[in-house]
Structure 1
Amino acid sequence: MKRIFFYTILIIIFLIAVAYSLYSYRQAQIYDQKMQEVISEETPLPKYHFALIGEEMDHDYWRLVGAGAKKAALENDVFVEYEGPKRSNPEEQLKLLDMAIQAKVDGIIVQALNENFTPLINKAVKAGIPVITIDTDAPESLRNAAYIGTDNYLAGQLAGQALVNDTGGKATIGIITGGVDNAYNQHQLRVQGFKDAIAKEDGMKVIAIDESNLTRVQAEEKAYKMLKEHEDITAFYGTSSLDGIGIVAAARSLNKQDDLYVISFDTLDENIELLNKGDINAIVAQQPFVMGEKSIEIMLNLLNQKSISVVNHTDAAIIYKKDIEAVVEKKVNVHD
């Protein structure tokens, strides 16, 4: 009976997640349809045209960023052209950024994944196009003094403190990180925050760090290699949304899933499923929908010469198995 109940709960969670995904997709379709109606009916075009350039279109996290931006756009007479690579590809992002500059859009919202974005951001600002950064900052660029996204250093600290609390301050740790392209890269900040949080605990030791390059395949490969080379690893910390999935897969292949503590990022459906099964112990939850929504509001304030905050942090929190019901409900109702 317990097994039947467990699988029933899993099916319910899956169905809710599917319904939410379909709803989010439909909301984006409605937005695009309304924009087409505006054009076809020869009614006045929206007052502003913004370009939002994300990291990866084929990803739940960035779908939520786009959905939040389009919701705010509908409410504020704005057309948002939301684009990005199908899979993470900084070079393609740079091309899209350059195209937005050439199109002379009214504002650009971009994830500044590495230092190569700085020259193009500066080019846009010099051309009179305001730029704000989202998810990953470029504070040394001429971006218009605005960043919106997670406080990644603090998120890393939250992860480190959760690991300390949950293991009693004793763990031998491997870290799988999305990448460390520059000092402001969110993954590097998450690693540094994590290390600082565990630094005072004598029983906590990081013995290996490697990069997944934001793919679950490489996350699994790197975690597998770590587990083979360091059989004393008792905990893993993954800094990207796919790292936890790869870590769990590697642990399963070596029959070590019951011996590891795993903490990773983002409430993707697969991460929630692994959390519910106990394969992932904790998740650092971010607010991508809010990031997208607020980015439009900040850009409008900037264009209307209203005061804006230099840094606009969205909340992050540690999610455990007991929190799954609330997380799923929030995801379903995020558009309300």
Structure 2
Amino acid sequence: MKSCLLRIFLLAGFSFAGVPAFSQDWPKAPVKVVVPFDAGSTPDAAARVIGDRLAARLHQPFIVDNKSGAAGNIGTDAVAKADADGRTIGVSIAGPLGVNALLFRKMPYDVSRDIALVTIAVSQPSVLVVGSKSATKDAGQLLALMKGASRLSFASIGAGSISHLAMAALVAQAGGDAVHVPYRGSGAAVTALLSGDVDMALLPAAAVMPHVNAGKLRALAVASPDRSPSLPGLPTLAESGLPDIKGDAWIGFIAPAKTPAAVVQNLRDQIVQVLSEPAVKDKLRMQYMDPVGNSPDEFRKLLAADVARWKPVVEKNRITLD
């Protein structure tokens, strides 16, 4: 009996001894970075900028794998169900990590059980824009127009997206009315704005600012508590009398839930160091992205706050995706 117990303890010791070695050696093979949206999307851009530098630092390829569909659920589910061996990680956003659970009757994964939150890498302000031919010159004028007899329309990158929910909240707080027109992605939404098919939108800065700079759209405000470091000249919606509208488009790194804690910590530390590199900051700023690099606990609290913020908007507007 004693010899049997001894063998068990020895085996256990060898097992635990292997965990630090595995963690320290990570990554020993190429790492797949699953992006739950199409190539060219803002999560894709962030994954590629950061992944390239992780590859250089850790001497293994970080290969972006785009798995779009179901409002980000398909790609996020691929991470949740991947082997927890450090060879698959992902990026995701507020929708598939939290808000989608309010929109779908059944989710293919449980974030609290199936996913390890690593860090929010970047945050991008959402920008309230109108067409360049609009008579509206600032957010105050647009709010006044909403309260009048005019029935305006707004584009979003899809029903239930942050661009939809934040705009619905803005219209409600302004005491106005507007027609929601959902599109598949920011490119189509911007095209609708440029053609005059819709009057306004609240979209990620990277999608609209090139057109603003070209004089084809007019930026009125950012939907963030404070002015964005990327767009310091744009006032916030709070400055225009709507302090409760927050539509930052953050992008976070995730991993399968059972990924060794030391690997998750190493990944988080490496990402934070990458985000501090001047060349990376410059590339992200070109995409109007501000580096974050917070802790898993801070990530979890921000995600919970987002869900709490959007739940009443979803319920009031009876938004569903199935």
Structure 1 and Structure 2 fold alike (TM over 0.5): no
Give the TM interval when normalised to the shorter protein: 0.3 to 0.5
Tell me which of the two structures has the higher relative contact order, counting C-alpha pairs closer than 8 angstroms and 6 or more residues apart: 2
- Using the size of structure 1 for normalisation, the TM-score is 0.43
